[in-house]
Amino acid sequence: MRRAMAEAEVGDDVYIEDPTVNRLQERAAEMFGREAGLFVPSGSMGNLVSIMAQTERGQEVICEAAGHIYNYEMASMAALAGVLPRVIPTSDGIMTWEQIAPAIREKVYTRPQTALVSLENTHNMAGGTVYPTRLAHAICDKAHDAGLKVHLDGARVFNAAVHVGQSVGEITKKFDSVQFCFSKGLGAPVGSMIVGKKDFIEHCRVIRKMLGGGMRQVGVLAAAAAVALEEGPKRLYMDHDNAQLLAQGLANISRVGIQPERVQTNIVIFDIGETGLLSSEFLKRIAARGVLAGPVDGRRVRMVTHLDVDRGDIEQALKVIGEVVGQGF
Ligand SMILES: *Cc1c(COP(=O)(O)O)cnc(C)c1O
């Protein structure tokens, strides 16, 4: 990847003249069975641009309550897009049409109007959970019937595809817009992609520039993303296997709460409340021994497996966690 970056042919992408970026966008569009793609600096910008291109100020976006666009994107849909999130809490991050339908506004001029539904697949803070493909398709169909667009925050959509054993093109084919990250499990240092119809992508290009996301000789990053796109998806099953190994190992540690059968992809969330440690203290203790994780709340901890983590690392992490939890009293 570093060599591809060093050797990348570049041009000015604000003039759409960077051949490496153009190739990456075409390849991504092809993989997703779409007309066009647009390289953006981050997943957050990809989501925001997609929202801005498909809503008007004063409209509403239906999204899941623990979702990334609602919790980790600095309220940009409100602050910059001028839209109101309408959130739906779920137990597993996966919304059903029965939950979405009642949140759609009545079509009367005295009410703000629903413009967009946004799904997250896999769902990050629910623990990498995956939409059953038929459910995602049904939501898209019904939203379209209701006159709404549907966006996919597919930061980890390749993990979802591996889990269901279908292509990313198949599982996302009914969405109006899809954002995915090169910088998560695919292993590139920077960057995300939006894919969709040609006129939608041209609209996104204008908004990206407005937000300061027009990048000049950015082929050096697109070259890394191209390696991530070709090579990354092939090895995600290993991350899923490692997450299972981690989850099952955690289940064997007393006072650690986890249901390994609920771990579907590369994110493992477990409960350490019964150990008597707060997650902040637990995280400090494992970090001191070289194991990094993040908090979900005071009693839950989130770990992610990725290409820099192998089976030996999982075994080491389990050993450290077992010892730290043992010391909790
Ligand atoms: C990481 C992530 C994003 C994008 O995050 P950036 O840090 O802006 O690239 C969007 N959605 C989900 C679910 C994510 O996990």
Centre of ligand 1 to C-alpha 246, Å, is 23
Centre of ligand 1 to C-alpha 289, Å, is 27
Going along the chain from its start, the domains and CATH numbers come out as 2-231 (3.40.640.10), 235-327 (3.90.1150.10)
Atom of ligand 1 lying closest to residue 44 CA: 8
Centre of ligand 1 to C-alpha 59, Å, is 23
User: Is the pLDDT score of 328 beyond 60?
Assistant: no
Q: Which residues line ligand 1 (CB under 6 A)?
A: 42-44, 68, 120, 124, 153, 155, 181, 183-184, 192
What are the pLDDT digits (tens) for 230-285? 999 999 999 999 999 999 999 999 999 999 999 999 999 999 999 999 999 999 99
Q: Which residue has the tokens 């506004």?
A: 105
**What is the full DSSP assignment across 213-255?**
---SSTHHHHHHHHHHHHHTGGGHHHHHHHHHHHHHHHHTSTT
Say what the pTM is.
0.97
- Residue 133 is encoded by which pair of tokens? 């493909």
Q: Which helix (H) or strand (E) holds 22?
A: helix 19-31
Q: Which of 39, 40, 42, 44 to mutate to test the pocket of ligand 1 (most atoms within 8 A of CB)?
A: 44
What are the pLDDT digits (tens) for 115-150? 999 999 999 999 999 999 999 999 999 999 999 999
Confidence tier at 326 by pLDDT (50, 70, 90): confident
User: Is the pLDDT score of 185 beyond 70?
Assistant: yes
Centre of ligand 1 to C-alpha 56, Å, is 23
Q: How many helices (H) and strands (E) does the chain have?
A: 14, 10
Centre of ligand 1 to C-alpha 252, Å, is 31
